[in-house]
Structure 1
Amino acid sequence: MILTHIGGPTVLIELDGWHLLTDPTFDPAGGHYDFGWGTSSDKLAGPALGLRDLPHIDAVLLSHDRHGDNLDAAGRQLLPAVGTVLTTVSGARRLGLPNALGMAPGEVTVLQAANLPPLEVTATPAHHGPPLSGPVVGDVVGFAVRRAGEEEVRLWVTGDTVLHRSLRRVAARLRVDVALVHVGGVRFAVTGPVRYTMTGRRAVELVALTRPRVAVPVHYEGWSHFRSGRPAVEEALALAPSDVRHRVRWLIPGEPYRSTD
C-alpha cells in the first residue's frame, strides 16, 4: 500500500492496483467556509497535489459531504469522474450522482472493476460530536477496506469522529493493517469546550485499542478550527507505551509513503 497525504483529511491510497481517495479537499488556501449553526473556519494551507496530479480515482471514501474541510468546491468537481463514491446515506442523496452509494454503519459493499481484485468495504460508526449533536453536524461514516474474503482490514478510515462507545467496540474487534485516524480536536467559539473530532489523547487511546500495524494521523492541520494538532498527538504519545508509539507515522504532504517502510 502507498499513501500520499494531500492535506487535511485527503489521502491518495494505492492498494492492489486500486486508486482510492479520502475526503477530497483541493481548494487553495485563504477561503472562509460556513459550516452552519454559527460555526465556520478558514483554510490556512492548500493541497500538496492538485486535481491534475491525480491518477484516475477508482473510488472516493467520503466520510461526509456537509463540511468544506472534508469536501470542498474543487473536490466536488472531481466526484462525477471517479468510479464510485462511498458516503453516508443522506450524503448520497444530496450529491445526486449515479456513482454515489450511501452506506450506514455495518453495511458492506464490494468494489469491483475490470482487471482489479474486488475490495470489500464495511461502513464503521462515527459521531461528529457529543451526544445529541447529530442534527447539527449531520451523519458521518468511516470505512474498513478488506481484500474480498479476508478477515484483516487492509485500511481503516475513521472519518471525523469523537471516541464513543460504538467506535471503541469496533476498534477492539478489528484487525487493522493501516489506520487513517482523524484528529484535530475541532472546537468552535460558539459551542465552547465541545469537541467535534478526537483530540491527540483520544486518538492515541484509539490506536492503543486497535493496535494497527501503522497508524497515520490526518485532519489535524491546515484549518483554523483544528485545535489539537501534531504537538498534542506527540504529547499523548510520549505518555503511551512504546508498543503504541512505534505504530504512528507522520506523512510529509505530497510525498508517497509505502506502508511497509
Structure 2
Amino acid sequence: MAQLQLTHLGGPTTLIEVDGWRILTDPTFDSPGRRYTFGWGTSSRKVAGPAQARELVSPVDVVLLSHDQHADNLDDSGRELLAQAGTVVTTRPAARRLAAPNVRGLADWESTTLESPDRPSLTVTATPARHGPKFSEPITGKVNGFALHGHGEETAALWMSGDTVLYDGLREVASRLKVDVALLHLGGVRFSFTGAVRFTMTARESLELIGVLRPRVAVPVHYEGWTHFREPEAVARQTLSVVENVRWLTPGERTEV
C-alpha cells in the first residue's frame, strides 16, 4: 500500500489519504462554545473548532465512525457529512440508528471490502474497544476501532483505536494484527461525579499499548478541544517522549507518515 498522508482536523477527526482514497475518522466540525450532553448526567463543552471547515474536507469516500452516541465523535455538522460520504463504516448499533443506505455496521472482527473502479480495494476490519471500565458498555454504548488493509496485504496500513481504555480487547488487537500506523485516541477522559474512573486512554496506557502493538508510527489524536479531557497535552507529550516512533500532527497540516 502507498504511503499515508494524515491531516488531523481536531479532536478525533483525521483525514487519511491513501491509494486515491479519502477516508475520514469520527467527523466533528461544529463551532466551539456549545455544551453537549452525553447521557447519565455527563456533559462536555467544545472549546476548539476544526482546523479546516467541512466544505474544504469534502468530498470523502469513506467515514470510519467509531460510535455515533457522543458528540465529540459525531456532532451535528459531522452528521450532515455522513449523507455526502460514499460509505460509512461503524458499529452495528450505530448502523441501526443511522439507518442510511450508505452505512455498513460491523461487529468485532467483522470485515467489509470497499471497491472502486479507479483505485485498489480496501478491507476495513472492526476491532474491539471499550469506552470505560469493565461492565460500562450498557451505559457508554458500543464502540469499535478499525483497521485498514490493502488487497492481499497482511499488515494493516492504519489502525484507529476508537475511544477506549486499555483492556484485554486492545491486547487482543496487538496479538492478532500487524500495524504500520496506529491512530490512538487519548485524553484520559473523566467526569466530575465519576471520580478517578477514566473513559479513554491516558498517555501512560498508550505507552504500554505501543509496546505490545509495535507499530512503525503511533499518532495521538483526540486529546484536546473538549473540557472532559483531563490529561493535558503537555503531560502526554512528556510521557510519550521516551519512544521514538510517536508522531504528533499539527492540526490542519497534511503530513506524510
Q: Is the 8 A contact 1:185 1:196 kept in 2?
A: yes
Which one-letter code corresponds to 1:252 in the other structure? T
**Cα shift at 1:122:** 0.8
My pick for the range that moved more, 65-74 or 228-237, is 228-237
The two structures have a TM-score, normalised by structure 1, of: 0.95
**Cα shift at 1:237:** 2.4
The separation in 2 between residues aligned to 1:179 and 1:145, in whole angstroms, is 11
Q: Which residue of 1 aligns with 2:173?
A: 170
The two structures have a TM-score, normalised by structure 2, of: 0.97
Q: Which residue of 2 aligns with 1:57?
A: 60
The separation in 1 between residues aligned to 2:36 and 2:129, in whole angstroms, is 22
Count of residue pairs the alignment pairs up:
254
Which one-letter code corresponds to 1:257 in the other structure? T
Q: Which residue of 1 aligns with 2:201?
A: 198
Indicate yes or no: 2:105 matched with 1:88. Answer: no
Q: Which residue of 1 aligns with 2:31?
A: 28
- Give the match's secondary structure for 2:63: strand
Match of 2:139 among 136, 139, 151: 136
- Give the match's secondary structure for 2:248: coil
Q: Is the 8 A contact 1:220 1:226 kept in 2?
A: yes
Which one-letter code corresponds to 1:201 in the other structure? R
Q: Which residue of 1 aligns with 2:247?
A: 249
My pick for the range that moved more, 51-60 or 213-222, is 51-60
**Cα shift at 1:208:** 1.2
Q: Deviations over 1:181-212 (max 9, x none)?
A: 00010000121111000011001111111111
**Cα shift at 1:233:** 2.0
**Cα shift at 1:156:** 0.2
**Cα shift at 1:173:** 3.3
Q: Deviations over 1:129-158 (max 9, x none)?
A: 001111110000000101021101001000
- Give the match's secondary structure for 2:120: strand
- Give the match's secondary structure for 1:34: strand
My pick for the range that moved more, 61-70 or 168-177, is 168-177
The separation in 2 between residues aligned to 1:200 and 1:99, in whole angstroms, is 35
Q: Which residue of 2 aligns with 1:159?
A: 162
Match of 1:227 among 202, 205, 230: 230
My pick for the range that moved more, 87-96 or 170-179, is 170-179
Any stretches of 5+ residues in structure 1 without a counterpart?
none
Which one-letter code corresponds to 1:139 in the other structure? K
The separation in 2 between residues aligned to 1:95 and 1:203, in whole angstroms, is 31
Which one-letter code corresponds to 2:227 in the other structure? S
My pick for the range that moved more, 109-118 or 28-37, is 109-118
Q: Is the 8 A contact 1:204 1:233 kept in 2?
A: no
Q: Which residue of 2 aligns with 1:74?
A: 77
- Give the match's secondary structure for 2:121: strand
Q: Which residue of 1 aligns with 2:192?
A: 189
**Cα shift at 1:231:** 2.2
Which one-letter code corresponds to 1:67 in the other structure? H
Indicate yes or no: 2:98 matched with 1:100. Answer: no
- Give the match's secondary structure for 1:125: strand
Which one-letter code corresponds to 1:120 in the other structure? T
Q: Is the 8 A contact 1:105 1:124 kept in 2?
A: yes
Which one-letter code corresponds to 1:184 in the other structure? G
The separation in 1 between residues aligned to 2:46 and 2:229, in whole angstroms, is 10
- Give the match's secondary structure for 1:255: coil
